[in-house]
Structure 1
Amino acid sequence: MSADTWLEELGVSDLGKSGLGEVDEPAFSGLAERHRRELHVHCYRMLGSFEDAEDTVQETFLRAWRRRETFEGRSTFRAWLYRIATNACLDLLAKRRPEPATGGEVLWLQPYPDRLLDELAAGDADEPEALAVARETIELAYLVAVQHLAPRPRAVLILRDVLGWPAKDVAELLGDSVNSVNSALQRARAGLREHLPAERQDWTGGEQDADTRELVRRYTDASVATDVDRLATLLRDDVRSSMPPTPGLYIGRDAVVNDWVENGFESMKGLRAVPTSVNRQPAVAFYLWQEREGAYLPLTIDVLRVTDGAITEIITFHDDQFPRLALPERLPVDGTE
C-alpha cells in the first residue's frame, strides 16, 4: 500500500507538523491491526515466547497511538511500527531476560501455530515477514540459536538478515553508528553459527515430503506403542531432546533413550496421537487415557526436526500449549470429537 493510499484511508492529505495527531483512534487502530500478525512474528523471533510477543505487540500499539504525532512520513507506517516493536522487545528483555540463553536450551521457548503463520503466507508476498517465514527463519532451531545472542546484536541480526533492513536504518533505530551495526551483525552471525548445525540443511526441515511424513508416521506409531527400541532406530546419533520450560537438554541417541527409560515411558499405556505442525515443522500431539474422565486428555506435543531421513531434534511442550495450537481438549474412546 502506498503512503498516499493509506493516508487517504485515514482522511489525511498532508501529515504536516501534527503527524497523525488528528487521526481518530478507530482509524488508527484499523490501520495498525493490518500489521498485527507480522509484528507478532517479529516479536516472537526476538523473544522466543508466544505470550511475551502478544504482550509486546499490545505495548507496541499503545506506544504508537501515544506517539502518533511523531510520525512524519519519512518512512512507511509499517517500518515505523517495526521500530516501535523492536524497542518494546528490547525494553522487555532488559527487564525480564537481560542475559541471553546458555547451554543450548531455551526454557521460555513456546511453539508458534502454523495456522497463524499461514495468515502471512496468504497476505502480500512482498511483506517482510511473509518473506522471512518463506526463508524458514521461524523454525525452532533458529529460534533457540537466536535466543543465545545478546538482545541488541539479536535485534541487528533479525532486522538486517531476516527483514533486510539497510544498516543505516538499523543504526538510526538503535542510536548507533553504521560501523557499530555492521560489527554487531558480524558478531551475531558468528554467535548464531555456534548454536546451529554447520550446514543450513541440517537445521531447516524444509518441505515435509513423503519420506518425512512416513518417518513421522513411524515415530507416532512407535510412540503410541511405547516401543523405545523402535523409536531409537529413528533417531540420528547426535539427536537432541528438550522439554521447555522443564530444564534438561539431552544430546545423543543413548542419552535421549536413557531419559525416556528412566522416566518410565515404556510403562505408559493408553496413548493416542494427533498429527499437527508448528513453526513449519512436523509435530505430534499425544493424549493419555484418563479412566475417571472417560477420555484421552492432552499430555505433550513433540515437535520434530528431520534431516536426511532421521530425527535430529525433539522439542516437547507441555499440555498448556494445546489450546493455542487449536488441538482438541479431549479425544473420546470411540475416536469422535
Structure 2
Amino acid sequence: MSADRRLTEPDGTGLGEVDEPTFSGMAQRHRRELHLHCYRMLGSFEDAEDTVQETFLRAWRRRETFAGRSTFRAWLYRIATNACLDLLAKCRPEPATGGEVRWLQPYPDRLLDELVAGDGDEPETVAVARETIELAYVVAVQHLAPRPRAVLILRDVLGWPAKDVAELLGDSVNSVNSALQRARAGMREHLPAERQDWTGSEEEDAGTRELVRRFTDASVATDIDRLAAMLREDVRCSMPPTPGLHIGRDAVVKDWVDDGFVGMTGLRGIPTDVNRQPAVAFYHWREREGAYLPLTLDVLRITGGLITEIVTFHDDQFQRLGLPQRLPADSQE
C-alpha cells in the first residue's frame, strides 16, 4: 500500500511515518494547482509563489495534524487558503477598489498547460477553467473581502461543498452560503457584462487572431487612427503597478498621445498568450545593444470583433512568461 493511499484512510495513520523527501514529492504533485489557487486569491504571481512555499512549510511542520478525514490534496488546499488569508490580512487589509488592481501580474499559459484536466476535460469544465483565470475575473475577485473571496473560489471554482468550506473557515454553513451570495453579487458588479462570450468559437478565434495581427501592425507603426478603430467605445486600459485606469476610447487614445506613443519608432511585436488571453509582447530597438529589448506586454480582451480591454505590463514580466529577452537586428522588416 502506498503512502499516498494510507493518507486517505480514516484512522489518519501513515503521514507521521513519511520522510521529508517522500512528503515533498507528494506535495509537489499539487504545486501547480495550488499555485493557481493562490494566484486567484492574491492576483500576484510572485505572492502566489511565496504562499505555496509557505503552504508546503506549514504542511510539513503540521503533518501530525492530518487526520485522514479528507484527501491529502484537500488538506493542502485548506492550508494554502489559510496562508492566503493570513497574507491578505497582513499586506492587503482592504480589497481593491475602483476597478484597478495595481498588484496584478500575468500568468504564463505555458504553466497553465502543466495542469492535467483528467476526468474534468469536458467542454463546459474547460470553459469554466478559462473564465476563472482570465484577467477580468482575477481583477473582479480582488475587489471582494478576503473571506467571501475564499468562499467564492472554493465553492464556485473548486466545487467544494458548503460544509467543507465552513469547516475550513471555522464558520457555519449558513454563514458560508451568505458569504457566497455576497461574493457572487460583487462579482456581477465588477465582471464585464459579456462574460458569457469569453470562450468564443473557432470562427471567433480566427477573427481574434486577425484582430491581434492588425493591432500589432498598427502599434508598431504607432498609427493611432488604426488603433482607435479597433477599440470599443467603452474600452478599459490599465498598466499595473502604475496607477491609473482609463475608461473609454477617447480617454485611452488621449493617454497614448500624452505618453509620447505617437511618432515612436523601432518597435517590434510578437503575439503570445497569457491567462488564456491573446497578448502582444513589444520590443524596442536599442542601438547601443544592437538588438530589440523588451518594452511592454499588452494583454487583450476581445468581444464582438473589438478590443474591450488592454492590460499593459512592464518588461520585468518577460522572463517569467518565457518570452525572448532580446530580438536580433535581422528581425527588422
1:199 to 194, 201, 205: 194
Q: CA deviation at 1:15?
A: 7.4
1:207-226 Cα shifts (integer Å, max 9, x gaps): 66110100000000000000
Distance 2:65 2:200 in 1: 42
Correspondent of 1:53 among 24, 35, 48: 48
Deviations 1:46-79 (A, max 9, x none): 0000000000000000001111111121101110
Q: What does residue range 183-194 of structure 1 map to in structure 2 within 5 Å?
A: 183-194=178-189
Contact kept? 2:134, 2:276, Cα under 8 Å: yes
- Write the deviation string for residues 175-197 of structure 1: whole angstroms up to 9, x where unpaired: 00000000000000001111112
Which residue matches 1:166? 161
Give the whole-Å Cα distance in 1 for the aligned partners of 2:307 and 2:12.
58
Shift of 1:136: 2.1
Residue 71 (structure 2) aligns with: 76
**Residues of 2 paired with 1:44 and 1:193: CA distance?**
20
Secondary structure of the residue aligned to 1:209 is: helix
The alpha carbon displacement at 1:334 in A equals: 0.5
Give the counterpart of 2:233 among 228, 232, 237.
237
Equivalent residue, structure 2, for 1:7: 4
Do the aligned residues in 1 keep the contact of 2:34 with 2:77 (CA within 8 Å)?
yes
1:99 is matched with which residue?
94
Among 277, 281, 284, the residue aligned to 2:277:
281
In structure 2, relative to structure 1, the CA distance for the partners of 1:13 and 1:37 (3 Å cut) is: closer
- Quote the residue 1:20 is aligned against: 15
For 1:157 and 1:17, how far apart are their aligned partners in 2? 29
Report SS of the residue matched to 1:112: coil
> C-alpha distance in 2, partners of 1:201/1:166?
25
- Which amino acid in the other structure matches residue 245 of structure 2? L
- Cα distance in structure 1, aligned partners of 2:34 and 2:300: 26
| Match in the other structure for 1:269 | 265
> Paired residue for 1:211?
207
Q: Which runs of 5+ in 2 are unaligned?
A: none
Specify the alignment match of 2:61 in structure 1.
66
Does the CA contact (< 8 Å) of 1:153 and 1:185 recur in 2?
yes
Whole-Å Cα distance in 2 between the matches of residues 82 and 241 of structure 1?
Answer: 34
Distance 2:218 2:109 in 1: 25
Offset of 1:119 from its aligned partner? Answer: 0.7
SS at match of 1:143: helix
Preserved CA contact (<8 Å) 2:109 2:273:
yes
Distance 1:70 1:293, change over 3 A: same
Share of identical aligned residues, percent?
80
Cα 1:291–1:184 shift into 2, 3 Å: same
Once residues 233 and 149 of structure 2 are traced to their aligned partners in structure 1, the CA distance between those partners, rounded to angstroms, is: 30
Q: In the TM superposition, what is the alpha-carbon distance from 1:16 to its structure 2 partner?
A: 4.5
What's 2:118 paired with? 124
Query: Paired residue for 1:254?
Result: 250
**TM-score (norm: length of structure 2):** 0.94
1:102 aligned counterpart, secondary structure: coil
After TM superposition, the structure 1 = structure 2 runs for residues 306-321 of structure 1, keeping only pairs within 5 Å, are 306-321=302-317
Partners of 2:192 and 2:248 in 1: CA distance = 14
CA distance in structure 2 between the partners assigned to 1:101 and 1:132 by the alignment:
26
> Following TM superposition, by how much is the alpha carbon of 1:201 offset from its aligned partner in structure 2, in angstroms?
2.8
Offset of residue 254 of structure 1: 0.2
In the alignment, structure 1 segments of 5+ residues that lack a partner are none
- Contact conserved, 2:101 with 2:139, CA < 8 A, in 1? yes
Q: SS state of the match for residue 21, structure 1?
A: helix
Picking from 145, 165, 182, the partner of 1:150 is 145
- Give SS of 1:250's match: strand
Q: Which amino acid letter does the alignment assign opposite residue 23 of structure 1?
A: V
How many residues matched?
A: 327
Quick one: which of 175, 180, 187 aligns to 2:175? 180
Residues 216 and 282, structure 1, Cα contact 8 Å, conserved in 2: yes
How big is each residue's C-alpha offset from its partner over 1:17-58, in whole Å with a ceiling of 9 and x where there is no partner? 655111100111101100000000000000000000000000
Amino acid of the structure 1 residue aligned with 2:120: D
